[in-house]
Structure 1
């Protein structure tokens, strides 16, 4: 069955088609959830709830643009909505971003495990993790992040800078390095 036919069947509330769509995309979308969640269990919850929204809104998909991108946008928006409900995005001093904008993190890929990097990103405070992932991982601009999170551009920049500082400190502390096999 083609993707187009699968989507059409999902639009008709075909449970088998929905199950097939879930199996096709769950692992990819779970990795998105994991980036934006505090832990594995929260990511699982966000994935399940996100799929409910996908099935509810699949009629709105008009076959224009990437279906993968449409799915990802729903998952990201759902996850961000959960954090907005918790009012985690505080206003911060926008001048802080100017002072720390040049924070660079140099990572020696051979010495850090992916699990450690994911772990320290998940340990970031919510507001920093969201902005870091949206900007550094998913490539959104500060303007787009500000609109998505209903914060100012300066707050987005500041939260990114603070996230980078925290990550840099954790990486430099040497935690999570893998041992050399030589």
Structure 2
């Protein structure tokens, strides 16, 4: 860890407003991206972002300068997003009433080299049902195992695998539909 970051963290431990502002400015782009991945829309992401920063500043004295500070901060943001989703959703595993239809393009040549942007992909991820989005983000972006996801979300490991599979299926269908529109 570089000396400047260590000094900045120490300022935050001392509740120095300037130090908090600097740390906020440093971490904001990365942490806001995490919030956008987990939450359904910008408003929810904004709320989690603000609440997670409050938690970070309240708990910063618990960081022991072991391991990556960014990783420590990311855990706070991910956990806050998951907590908000847990509160919002009484039952984590909910079957979608309408069956998911997925008609992936079998031949990749059909896409004619057209791709979707990062923002379009993020939009599709945000539109996933909460339980699908949580498992998808934890598995894909946080590189967590199904066992770890199951423990964190208090679900069965098989449920985690099923939710991931369904999330991928929904994303695949939506992306393929978008690509078909671009080709037409």
> What TM-score range do you get, normalising by the shorter chain?
0.7 to 0.9
1:146-169 CA distance string (max 9 Å, x none): 111111111100100110111111
- CA-based RMSD: 2.2
| Residue aligning to 2:37 | 35
The secondary structure found in structure 2 opposite 1:174 is helix
User: Whole-Å Cα distance in 2 between the matches of residues 175 and 125 of structure 1?
Assistant: 22
Runs ≥4 in structure 1, deviation > 4 angstroms? 175-179
Match of residue 159, structure 1, among 135, 160, 163: 163
Match of residue 49, structure 1, among 51, 55, 64: 51
User: Whole-Å Cα distance in 2 between the matches of residues 88 and 176 of structure 1?
Assistant: 35
User: Whole-Å Cα distance in 2 between the matches of residues 175 and 123 of structure 1?
Assistant: 17
Matched, 1:26 2:35: no
Could you tell me whether the CA contact under 8 Å between 2:56 and 2:76 is conserved in 1? yes
Could you tell me whether the CA contact under 8 Å between 1:127 and 1:159 is conserved in 2? yes
Contiguous gaps of at least 5 residues in structure 1: 93-103
Match of residue 65, structure 1, among 58, 67, 81: 67
Q: TM-score, normalised by structure 2?
A: 0.83
User: Whole-Å Cα distance in 1 between the matches of residues 158 and 16 of structure 2?
Assistant: 46
Taking the TM superposition and a 5 Å limit, the aligned residue runs for 1:6-155 are 6-86=8-88, 87-90=90-93, 110-155=114-159
Could you tell me whether the CA contact under 8 Å between 1:88 and 1:126 is conserved in 2? no
| Residue aligning to 1:97 | none
The secondary structure found in structure 2 opposite 1:90 is coil
Could you tell me whether the CA contact under 8 Å between 2:132 and 2:163 is conserved in 1? yes
| Residue aligning to 1:2 | 4
User: Whole-Å Cα distance in 2 between the matches of residues 177 and 66 of structure 1?
Assistant: 43
1:132-182 CA distance string (max 9 Å, x none): 111012211101111111111111001001101111111222358768xxx
Query: Cα distance 1:114–1:56, how it changes in 2: closer, same or farther (>3 A)?
Result: same
User: Whole-Å Cα distance in 2 between the matches of residues 137 and 177 of structure 1?
Assistant: 28
Could you tell me whether the CA contact under 8 Å between 2:115 and 2:179 is conserved in 1? no
Q: TM-score, normalised by structure 1?
A: 0.84
